[in-house]
């Protein structure tokens, strides 16, 4: 199925309002999820709605919760998300941190206890919109681990995303690196399973710790494990994201002494920097233009596959999907109809919105 973004957003909005979210919350969460689909990250798009509804029914996700500023300490702002929608509380925390960075030049945001914050790049985009640089580290707790440590054979930590956003130049687009530290996000494995596809080799271990391309190993018990990017180096980044997001925010790490209720909680540490406080913006812009030009002039290894900057694949996807619609596989659509029902909407009502 190909669904127009506005229609998909409407479907998500009515489902979330059926779960008690205010119209404003439903609109913002739906916008975030559809934006993840538009940018090509189906793993963090509307396919998350079924999990959110189930978790909310377990009372582990609290609709209509705003972020709490726990400590206002100069350039350091500590927030608690109160298990509210991450798309809301992380956005609110970022808003305040960006405002503070405009005063102080740099601000550190510590956000604990947000329900799934979704596509972290969205918060990088928030910083970019304000002309800021941002750096984000998150960990994932309150559910079982997914990723094997380097040299290990079973899962011990989450897909711990890292994001870095830097405003572009006069000729170049903004640069947005936004990645899981696992080779693939779990949602991408779910999407592959729903489509009946295999995953790339060297991505997964089965329950015995052997390499496999079968996505179902992540959804059977005992579960397999995702592999981290870049062997010991990617593992090192994931390890440090766990420390920065789990320890420094006070939220806690995935170690088993901390309770796991089977929801998805993200803690995030973010640094927002006003680049104008570091130097001349005109020079920075022209330097970025020259640097990106230089990188992109590297001859293609495969014809038709030019060098890209981080953030380009998302722009390419968005242009294509705004024109052609967002692909939703049958399994995901079936799950969405199912949770719509749980929130009081019939399949006919949902299908009427989609048309």
Query: Per CB under 6 A, does 127 bind ligand NAD?
Result: no
Beta carbon of residue 332, minimum distance to ligand NAD (angstroms, whole number)? 16
Kindly report the number of other CB atoms within 10 A of residue 201's CB atom. Answer: 9
Name residue 148's beta-bridge partners. 227
Query: Per CB under 6 A, does 179 bind ligand NAD?
Result: yes
Query: What gap in Å lies between CA 217 and CA 184, rounded to an integer?
Result: 14
Beta carbon of residue 354, minimum distance to ligand NAD (angstroms, whole number)? 25
Residue with smaller CB distance to ligand NAD, 14 or 55: 55
Per DSSP, the chain holds a count of helices (H) and strands (E) of 11, 13
Give burial (CB, 10 Å; 0-12/13-18/19+) of 315.
middle
Find the angle CA(342)-CA(197)-CA(156) to the nearest 5 degrees: 75
The site map against ligand NAD for 265-304 (x = CB under 6 A) is -x--------------------------------------
Residue with smaller CB distance to ligand NAD, 91 or 100: 91
Cα within 13 Å of Cα(163), Cβ side: 28
Q: CB of 114 within 8 A of CB of 100? A: no
Query: What gap in Å lies between CA 254 and CA 83, rounded to an integer?
Result: 16
Residue with smaller CB distance to ligand NAD, 82 or 105: 82
The site map against ligand NAD for 12-51 (x = CB under 6 A) is -----------------------------x-xx-------
Residue with smaller CB distance to ligand NAD, 21 or 39: 39
Residue with smaller CB distance to ligand NAD, 145 or 161: 161
Q: Which residues lie below 8 Å from residue 319, measured CB to CB, with a gap of 6+?
A: none
Query: What gap in Å lies between CA 266 and CA 84, rounded to an integer?
Result: 11
Number of shown-chain residues binding ligand NAD (CB under 6 A) = 29
Task: Choose, by CB under 6 A, the member of 209, 313, 334, 344 that binds ligand NAD.
Answer: 313
Query: Per CB under 6 A, does 138 bind ligand NAD?
Result: yes
Query: Per CB under 6 A, does 169 bind ligand NAD?
Result: no
Name residue 107's beta-bridge partners. 272
Query: Per CB under 6 A, does 174 bind ligand NAD?
Result: no
Q: Which residues lie below 8 Å from residue 253, measured CB to CB, with a gap of 6+?
A: 139, 141, 242, 243, 246, 247
The site map against ligand NAD for 182-211 (x = CB under 6 A) is --xx--x-----------------------
The window from 13-21, 26-34, 146-154, 305-313 that contacts ligand NAD (CB under 6 A) reads 305-313
Per CB under 6 A, residues contacting ligand NAD are 41, 43-44, 116-121, 138, 140, 159, 161, 163, 176-180, 184-185, 188, 266, 308-311, 313-314
């Amino acid at each position: 199925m190909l669904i127009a973004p506005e229609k998909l957003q409407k479907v998500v909005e009515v489902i979330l309002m059926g779960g008690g979210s205010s119209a404003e919350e439903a609109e913002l969460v739906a916008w975030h999820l559809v934006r993840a689909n538009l940018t090509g990250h189906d793993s963090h798009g509307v396919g998350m709605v079924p999990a959110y509804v189930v978790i909310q029914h377990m009372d582990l996700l609290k609709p209509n919760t705003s972020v709490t500023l726990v400590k206002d300490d100069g350039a350091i702002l500590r927030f608690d998300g109160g298990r509210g929608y991450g798309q809301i509380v992380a956005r609110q925390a970022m808003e305040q941190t960006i405002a503070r960075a405009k005063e102080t030049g740099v601000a550190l945001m510590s956000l604990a206890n947000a329900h799934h914050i979704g596509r972290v790049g969205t918060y990088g985009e928030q910083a970019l919109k304000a002309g800021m640089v941002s750096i984000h580290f998150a960990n994932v707790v309150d559910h079982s681990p997914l990723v094997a440590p380097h040299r290990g054979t079973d899962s011990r930590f989450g897909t711990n995303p890292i994001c870095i956003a830097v405003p572009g130049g006069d000729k170049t687009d903004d640069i947005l690196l936004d990645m899981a530290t696992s080779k693939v996000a779990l949602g991408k494995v779910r999407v592959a399973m729903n489509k009946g596809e295999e995953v790339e080799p060297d991505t997964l271990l089965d329950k015995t710790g052997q390499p496999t391309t079968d996505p179902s190993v992540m959804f059977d018990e005992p579960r397999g494990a995702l592999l981290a990017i870049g062997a010991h180096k990617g593992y090192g980044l994931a390890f440090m994201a766990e420390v920065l997001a789990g320890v420094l925010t006070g939220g806690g790490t995935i170690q088993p002494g901390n309770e796991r209720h089977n929801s998805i909680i993200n803690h995030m540490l973010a640094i927002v920097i006003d680049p104008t406080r570091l130097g001349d913006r005109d020079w920075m812009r022209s330097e970025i233009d020259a640097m990106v030009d230089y990188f992109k002039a590297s001859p293609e290894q495969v014809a038709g596959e030019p060098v890209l900057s981080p953030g380009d694949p998302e722009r390419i996807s968005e242009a294509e999907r705004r024109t052609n619609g967002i692909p939703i596989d049958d399994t995901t659509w079936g799950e969405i109809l199912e949770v719509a029902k749980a929130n009081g909407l019939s399949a006919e009502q949902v299908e009427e919105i989609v048309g």
